[in-house]
Amino acid sequence: MLNVSILGPLAAFGSSCTWAIAAVAYSRLSFKYPAHVINMTRAILSLPFFAIAFALDVGPAEALEALFIIPISSWSWFAVSMTASFGLGDVLFLISTRHLGVPRALTLASIYPLWATLVESFRKVQGGEALPLTIWIGVALIVSGVGLVTRTQSTNGDPVAIKNRFKLFIGILMALLTSLAWSMNNVAVEHLGSTHSFWLVAIGRMLAATMLCPFYGILFRKIFDPNAPKAWSGPWWLDGADFRTYVVLFIVEGFCGSLMFVYGVSNSPLSVGSALTSLSPVVSVGVLWALDRKAPAPLTLVGMILTLFGLLSLLVT
């Protein structure tokens, strides 16, 4: 039996809730701004709040000292985490949506808890242990439930009619690579959380994001805008109107959501944390259902029920 505080899994689930709310706004902004601009804004706006909270928690001098003594090996893990999420992971996912449509792409990408569970299972086997059966059942139910909800939920239907087999292959490949990248992000955060405080992990990730997002923006600019005259051409920041509209959301999701993500993954078994951070599609449906008073489609309801049983299985463990 795994002896884990309930706060870790609850925080992981909380990060899914904040992402479910923010993802709608980020999706709208993605039609006007590249992914690296949105992610860099998230990192820059949330970083001061992490720094202030860390300084209040341990003291300004101690916080500054902790930042300066972070080993090079940890910075490499910070780079892996933000490459797998804010950088390359988001790029791969957006490419897959262009070939498959959002529902299909998100369904494939959302299997990433399976990879995290395999990693944790391998570690257990190396130590002569095994994962409890309830974790395997819970992860399988959650992945299946999220897949059903994502596949059947599309506001305007799925506009992508796949007639080109090569495009189908590229879309599937990019979506599967996205799932591996998102899983690697969880592995990196879990590793960092075992050696550093969650405040330090959160700050390190955002510092890495502010440095890596411009790099990936230049590197992948031509992929998203083939007609761009220069790879480093803008936009590089939100305009005044968009900034004023979304600044509070950026701070709440970037600070509170990232904090719950880091704390949840760092204080849960890798398989449990990964599964609980993948629930934003299901949460989104629940929120829309509550607001619109309109029952979801039958398959969506089945997916939500499967996800609920998966959650119960993980929490019982």
Q: Which two tokens stand for residue 296?
A: 């979801």
Please give the tally of structural domains in the chain: 1
Q: Spell 31-45 as b/e; 16+ CB within 10 A means b.
A: eebbbbbbbbbbbbb
| The predicted structure's pLDDT at residue 47 | 92
Q: Cβ contacts of residue 85 below 8 Å, gap of 6+?
A: 181, 182, 185
**pLDDT classification of 287: cutoffs 50, 70, 90:** low
Residue 224 CB contacts under 8 Å (≥ 6 apart), including other chains: 34, 35, 94
Percentage, residues of the chain above pLDDT 70 = 80
| Structure confidence by residue, pLDDT tens digits, 124-161 | 777 777 777 777 887 788 778 777 766 655 444 444 44
CB 124 within 8 A of CB 197: no
- Higher-pLDDT residue of 100 and 115 is 115
pLDDT number for residue 53: 92
State the chain's mean pLDDT as an integer: 78
Q: What are phi and psi of 174, to 5 degrees?
A: -65, -40
Q: What is the pLDDT of residue 155?
A: 43
Residue 1 maps to a domain:
no
With contact defined as beta carbons under 8 Å apart, do 254 and 45 qualify?
A: yes
In the predicted structure, residue 163 carries a pLDDT above the cut 80: no
Confidence of residue 50 (pLDDT cuts 50, 70, 90): very high
Which domain range does residue 307 map to? 7-316
